[in-house]
Amino acid sequence: MPKFFRVLSFFDPLRHYVTIARSLIFKGVGIGILLPEIAALTVFAVLLLGISISRFRAQLN
């Protein structure tokens, strides 16, 4: 895969979720190894929640 698309894939939450699911189901790894993926999903969740709240507040005004 070209480097551009590999870098671009880091901005897709599904990539991190699939990595976590595969690691847990097939490899049985611990949560310590998955912390970077969990942190990335947490950042996505916080950003999307913040955007949603601000758009909702703007809609109410």
pLDDT in tens, 26-40: 998 988 999 999 999
Of the candidates 1, 3, 40, 5, the one whose C-alpha atom is nearest the C-alpha of residue 20 is: 40
The whole-chain average pLDDT of the chain stands at 94
Mean pLDDT in residue range 16-29: 94
**Contact of 23 with 34, CB cutoff 8 Å:** yes
Confidence of residue 1 (pLDDT cuts 50, 70, 90): confident
| pLDDT higher than 90, residue 48 | yes
